[in-house]
Structure 1
């Protein structure tokens, strides 16, 4: 057994040696084999081939896409890691010494009354008990003001840090402020006057669509517009027929307080230009009566108004003979009938005393007014009277009764008669007696008072309408048709 084994050893050693040599040769060849990069770089002459440019562009595009897509994954929800939090106390600014000690002057809170808000709701909102409110209302004059508060009114509450009302403030009127210092047992009142001043201004405008719209745009209040139409110029101008281009001006006073306009006064002077004619009116007090006068001192208020019912329609005129709608026979109609609905107010045609009031046969409910100097007026077929009796003094324009159909009437209307010394006259055409003009010292005082106002109106109108006047002067004159 030993001999054969010893005989194979030389052969195995020779084959193993050969394998080792072969492996060594392959390893040496692999180590010295050129790689792709070296192969590509071999023979590089400083310029890239077309294939190299294509590969480089492809790699660059892929890199840009990866760079733009990868950051988008940053917003993916991740489970928040537990972070330990710590709190830190910050030092706040110290309260003013006056506030900490509750001193007056550093704790006022001013609130405005909202529409529909009551005084009790305001006190509850401020945390003030109702018992304190009732104590305030018991003060002289406080209840009359505080229970009639209008939206926008301001109330002041002096509430220190302890929350107990110390002082309450409100405005008694436009110029007086009341402060109530509230103690445990008593309340002390202090009234201070709020300074105000008056400015005299001129409002002027030209009608473009309507008088009301143009006057409001010029700054006049609705009350001032009513004064123009219903008091100053009601006898001379028919405002239902005003037209585009008519002009108006008014001098009036404004009351200012602390930079805020709190009210307006009466119109001191006014002008109205229509149909090429200018009317003027100036406010003046004479013998205890305030009225408006023309520039020469004649009252604008006429002795009578022609229509006891403004803007009413005439249903039957003044006639010597007509067929009575109820009796059916021909008879005189010594007045004018105005058709209006039942309950329409009837106004006194002039200043007068009540001569008769009551039922007057076919006239029904009737009032007869005596205006003096032989003038009387009659108002018939009323539904009811005003609160007057025989001998009562009545001013022009006062409502003396209401339209009805009492007596011999087929429907609701007013029968109106105008008499001079007992003779019936047509109230639509009769010449009304002129009012007495100012004379002597009264006229001199009137002219001295009204001259500055008239000068201001002329100054404003010259500035506002200078361009219009220049354009009118530049128009060529019309040739005479007879030439």
Structure 2
């Protein structure tokens, strides 16, 4: 190949490179220049741009009118009720109870609960609480209202001996301390407590909810003339007691006196009903006959007959001699009651009787009470009523152990106290009898609910049915 031919090729390549550089540098250069003929790609691009343009033409005028407020448009504002939001109160009531422990003081309780000493000073100076604070005992219930914000809102002292029968609440209000009355829900219910005597009448009665007051009414006032509570009762004998119970805020607060009571012993019924005569409580049979006797059969409660009336070998002297009274064995210090209304004739030492009291009941009747450990503050000439405590069981004089020697004399002649029969008080009649029957009807209805018993009157009529019991029977 010749040199001239090479030069021609070089010039042609150089020209072609310059032309390509100029075409690449131009911003308007097209990769595929339009050559006057529409391709498929060109038609697709044109259709897309036309659709976008049509949409813009339809939407943009709507935006312009929406942004302009119509001159005649009326606007209405509605108030909508929104639901209440339950917000947790940081200061809501929060009661905390504390039972005083032995040796614990009120200041110790305040310190334990983190209550400021300034609040304790206010409590201790409160005129009603200050005296009660000296009588706080272990077991006394204290309650404090301690909200979560760390303050103390109120303090409550529950009812207790020395404080009162009602709880006391103190409300803290800044620097003031106010007493607030606590509403009490008080109800009274007439109930029948019924059960078997069991091994111990006392234990069975206590199990039913009777206190010593009600039990004493049974043994010392209602049936003391007719029942020897040491020897007459068997374990399967039944008893029922009608009482009024007072409830406060759902808790038993007190039990009233016995309104009526029955004992069923070996199929025989003994009953008593409480009624006021001349302003004093007295007990009667269903037909209004008084259960009171001129003399108490046993002048000492819960005692055992250890020696009867008649001839016997004297336990100290060792020889046969007449026993002119009856002996009741009981523990030293057991109270001895006057067998009937009387005037005190003797208070002092009387030979083998030891410390002795003699009562004069009028009509030539006297009673003697021997071997006492001490007297009950009575003096000769003093008037005493039936049931008055005149002394206490002992073993003074000729006695082998503590017991009461009891004698009954009529015009100086010794009589067997267990066999004496004296006329009873007058029965109720007329308006008094009507009032009694009206008053006791409630107790009768209550007994009918739990006991299948019949009250037989002197005239042969009955005042209680033998229908099947409908109430719930509480067993001892």
Which bracket does the TM-score occupy, shorter chain normalised? 0.5 to 0.7
Give the distance between the partners of 1:365 and 1:127, measured in 2 at CA. 63
| Partner secondary structure for residue 256 of structure 2 | strand
User: What displacement does 1:142 show?
Assistant: 2.9
Q: Which runs of 5+ in 1 are unaligned?
A: 1-93, 100-105, 469-483
| Partner secondary structure for residue 290 of structure 2 | coil
Q: Which residue of structure 1 aligns with residue 290 of structure 2?
A: 299
Q: Does 1:170 pair with 2:160?
A: no
User: What displacement does 1:194 show?
Assistant: 1.0
1:442-461 to 2 correspondences below 5 Å: 442-461=432-451
Give the distance between the partners of 2:243 and 2:328, measured in 1 at CA. 37
1:362-373 to 2 correspondences below 5 Å: 362-373=352-363
User: What displacement does 1:449 show?
Assistant: 0.4
Q: Does 1:390 pair with 2:394?
A: no
**TM-aligned CA distance change 1:278 to 1:341, over 3 Å:** closer
Q: Which residue of structure 2 aligns with residue 308 of structure 1?
A: 299
Q: Deviations over 1:69-111 (max 9, x none)?
A: xxxxxxxxxxxxxxxxxxxxxxxxx984462xxxxxx234231
TM-score by length of 2: 0.63
Question: Which region of structure 1 is more displaced relative to structure 2, 108-117 or 443-452?
Answer: 108-117
**TM-aligned CA distance change 1:297 to 1:195, over 3 Å:** same
Q: Which residue of structure 2 aligns with residue 109 of structure 1?
A: 95
Give the distance between the partners of 1:349 and 1:126, measured in 2 at CA. 60
Q: Does 1:279 pair with 2:266?
A: no
Q: How many residues align?
A: 367
| Partner secondary structure for residue 452 of structure 1 | helix
**TM-aligned CA distance change 1:256 to 1:313, over 3 Å:** closer
Question: Which region of structure 1 is more displaced relative to structure 2, 350-359 or 377-386?
Answer: 350-359
Q: Deviations over 1:424-463 (max 9, x none)?
A: 3221222244233233332221111012321332243359
**TM-aligned CA distance change 1:460 to 1:331, over 3 Å:** closer
Give the distance between the partners of 2:433 and 2:104, measured in 1 at CA. 53
User: Which one of 106, 112, 120 corresponds to residue 125 of structure 1?
Assistant: 112
Q: Which residue of structure 2 aligns with residue 89 of structure 1?
A: none
Q: Retained in 2: the 8 A contact 1:199–1:255?
A: yes
Q: Which residue of structure 2 aligns with residue 375 of structure 1?
A: 365
Q: Retained in 2: the 8 A contact 1:359–1:366?
A: yes
| Partner secondary structure for residue 188 of structure 1 | strand
Q: Deviations over 1:239-268 (max 9, x none)?
A: 444346533333222323334433333332
Q: Deviations over 1:357-399 (max 9, x none)?
A: 2233453322222334543222223222123333445443443
Q: Which residue of structure 2 aligns with residue 196 of structure 1?
A: 186
Q: Retained in 2: the 8 A contact 1:113–1:149?
A: no
Q: Which runs of 5+ in 2 are unaligned?
A: 1-85, 454-464, 470-476
Q: Retained in 1: the 8 A contact 2:225–2:298?
A: no
Give the distance between the partners of 1:216 and 1:403, measured in 2 at CA. 26
**TM-aligned CA distance change 1:393 to 1:175, over 3 Å:** same
Q: Which residue of structure 2 aligns with residue 358 of structure 1?
A: 348
Q: Retained in 2: the 8 A contact 1:108–1:156?
A: no
Q: Deviations over 1:287-326 (max 9, x none)?
A: 221232211222323332233344234346345x987955
User: Which one of 207, 221, 225 corresponds to residue 210 of structure 2?
Assistant: 221
**TM-aligned CA distance change 1:208 to 1:335, over 3 Å:** closer
Q: Retained in 2: the 8 A contact 1:256–1:262?
A: yes
Q: Retained in 2: the 8 A contact 1:157–1:168?
A: yes
Question: Which region of structure 1 is more displaced relative to structure 2, 375-384 or 357-366?
Answer: 357-366
Give the distance between the partners of 2:330 and 2:451, measured in 1 at CA. 41
| Partner secondary structure for residue 157 of structure 2 | strand
Report which structure shows greater RCO (CA 8 Å, sep ≥6): 2
Q: Retained in 1: the 8 A contact 2:340–2:385?
A: yes
Q: Retained in 1: the 8 A contact 2:347–2:356?
A: yes
TM-score by length of 1: 0.62
Aligned CA RMSD, in angstroms, stands at 4.1
Q: Which residue of structure 2 aligns with residue 234 of structure 1?
A: 224
Q: Retained in 1: the 8 A contact 2:168–2:181?
A: yes
**TM-aligned CA distance change 1:332 to 1:384, over 3 Å:** same
Give the distance between the partners of 1:304 and 1:434, measured in 2 at CA. 10
1:50-449 to 2 correspondences below 5 Å: 96-97=88-89, 99=91, 106-113=92-99, 116=102, 118-120=104-106, 121-128=108-115, 132-133=119-120, 135-142=122-129, 145=132, 148=135, 154-160=141-147, 163-172=150-159, 176-182=166-172, 187-205=177-195, 219-223=208-212, 224=214, 227-239=217-229, 240-243=231-234, 245-309=236-300, 310-315=302-307, 317-318=309-310, 325=316, 333-340=323-330, 342-407=332-397, 409=399, 412-449=402-439
| Partner secondary structure for residue 296 of structure 1 | coil
Q: Deviations over 1:400-435 (max 9, x none)?
A: 222334345565443322123444322122224423
